[in-house]
Chain A
Amino acid sequence: MWAHFLTSFFGAAAFVILFNAPKKSLFHCGLVGMLGWVLYVYVRDDIGEAPATLAASLLVGILCQLFAKFYRTPVIIFSVAGIIPLVPGGMAYNAMRRFVENRYDEALQIGAQTLMIAGAIAAGLVLSEVLNQMLRRRPKSIV
């Protein structure tokens, strides 16, 4: 498990360097990436890939909203780092590799799975945004 903590932290932080993230947010980016990935790995075997991805990306989304509010920066800076480890890049690669090897039935299966997981990530992020908007609006409606 410690290997997952370590590699996901450095993996996420290194990845956002490629996206030119501001230097002062690198640590937080690594942190978000690590927490999302650790939750994913922790629940993956119990509830399956797509639900685990949904849970992890929801956690990432909530953390990002908090960081974004606290540091007054766009959410995307942290969310990119958080979802990069979850993104089904390896799976997309596997699907495409089977396509080029003429193994179409397997390729379609893996491709559909890839889309499901990408959808789960997007749904988790959108859900966190919706939660954020609901919480932000509530005080206004009471007043």
Chain B
Amino acid sequence: MEQKTSIYETIELCLLAGKIMLQSGAETYRVEDTMVRIATAFGLTESHSYVTPTALIFSTSGEQPAKLIRIENRTTDLHKIAEVNAISRRIALGELSAHEAKALLLQSESASFDYNLPMQIFAAALASACFLIMFGGSWPDFLAAFLAGGAGFAASVWLHRIVQVKFFAEFSAALLVGLLALLFIWAGFGYEFDRIAVGSVMPLVPGLLITNAIRDLMAGHLVSGISKGADACLTAFAIGAGIAVALLFFH
């Protein structure tokens, strides 16, 4: 780096990069690694980062106090992870000044999803129907899972916008999936309730979270691992309860 970058600016940059990655669902080690890499590129060789799913702490051994950032909402956004990763690579190679890097990071932070909502709902519906077949379902149920999965995902997106409680949104979406599956079977449009329900809730199921939780635990990120595991269990419980309540109506 030709021009001197102040320590304060570097810390801000590291925190911004870490925040975007964590909010986009990057692995814990990748977030820590990225922040330390950026810090090293700007001359801060001794830095420590501590990353949990809900907060991020970064400190340098200099005079600057450690800074903390609270992470409110987490989604999975692979595009942002890839972008921030590319930016941090360029920083490490010395291609970007702190100012340019910050502008690029802010730009990628405000970027919206590549796919619009109808496309996402269609993808969720298609995934549900495909999972139905993979889990041993029969082709006559394909359309039922397609419709129920799409509706369930659409409902969960909408509910996440109006209610703050994640548990409730997931519960209601699963309830809707269950009721739709029952309706389809009652109408003679679907045949196996269990398979339709499992396929259709797949877009909601926290499978990735469960795996990431165990991975974090294996890598020694105990706090992240346990909290991700708790998050995943809660979501799985919400979905199971939603389906079970739907079944209660039936009996």
| A residues with CB within 8 A of B | 3-4, 7-8, 10-11, 14-23, 37, 72-74, 76-77, 80, 83-85, 87-90, 92-97, 99-101, 114-115, 118-119, 121-123, 125-126
List, sorted by A's number, 7 A–B pairs whose CB atoms are closer than 8 Å: A11-B126, A21-B79, A76-B78, A83-B207, A87-B208, A92-B236, A126-B219
Q: Is B187 in the interface zone, CB < 8 Å from A?
A: no
Encode B68-100 as 1/0 by CB contact (under 8 A) with A: 000000001111111001100100000000000
Using known A-B contacts A15-B203, A80-B76, A84-B208, determine if residue A90 contacts B240 with beta carbons closer than 8 Å: no
> Which residues of B lie under 8 Å from residue A18 when comparing CB positions?
76, 120, 123-124, 127, 153, 203
> Which residues of B lie under 8 Å from residue A89 when comparing CB positions?
198, 201-202, 205-207
**Given A15, A94, A118, which contacts B211 in the complex, CB threshold below 8 Å?**
A118
Min C-beta distance of B220 to chain A, whole Å: 11
Known A-B contacts: A74-B26, A95-B236. Give 17 more (CB < 8 A): A11-B131, A14-B124, A17-B123, A22-B82, A74-B82, A76-B26, A76-B78, A80-B76, A83-B211, A84-B207, A85-B131, A92-B206, A93-B198, A93-B201, A97-B244, A99-B237, A126-B215
- Helix, strand, loop or mixed for chain A's interface? helix
| CB <8 Å contact, A93 and B115 | no
Min C-beta distance of B209 to chain A, whole Å: 9
Using known A-B contacts A7-B134, A73-B85, A97-B243, determine if residue A21 contacts B78 with beta carbons closer than 8 Å: yes
| CB <8 Å contact, B215 and A97 | no
- Helix, strand, loop or mixed for chain B's interface? helix
Min C-beta distance of B248 to chain A, whole Å: 9
A16 CA to B78 CA in the complex, in Å?
8
| CB <8 Å contact, B82 and A93 | no
Q: Is B183 in the interface zone, CB < 8 Å from A?
A: no
Closest to B85 in A: A74
**Given B78, B207, B218, which contacts A22 in the complex, CB threshold below 8 Å?**
B78
> Which residues of B lie under 8 Å from residue A125 when comparing CB positions?
211, 215
> Which residues of A lie under 8 Å from residue B202 when comparing CB positions?
15, 89-90
Q: Is B214 in the interface zone, CB < 8 Å from A?
A: yes
| CB <8 Å contact, A100 and B244 | yes
A73 CA to B244 CA in the complex, in Å?
41
**Given A10, A21, A126, which contacts B218 in the complex, CB threshold below 8 Å?**
A126
Q: Is B189 in the interface zone, CB < 8 Å from A?
A: no
**Given A77, A93, A95, which contacts B197 in the complex, CB threshold below 8 Å?**
A93
Encode B112-136 as 1/0 by CB contact (under 8 A) with A: 0111000110011011011101110
| CB <8 Å contact, B79 and A20 | yes
Min C-beta distance of A129 to chain B, whole Å: 9
Using known A-B contacts A80-B208, A92-B236, A118-B210, determine if residue A20 contacts B78 with beta carbons closer than 8 Å: yes
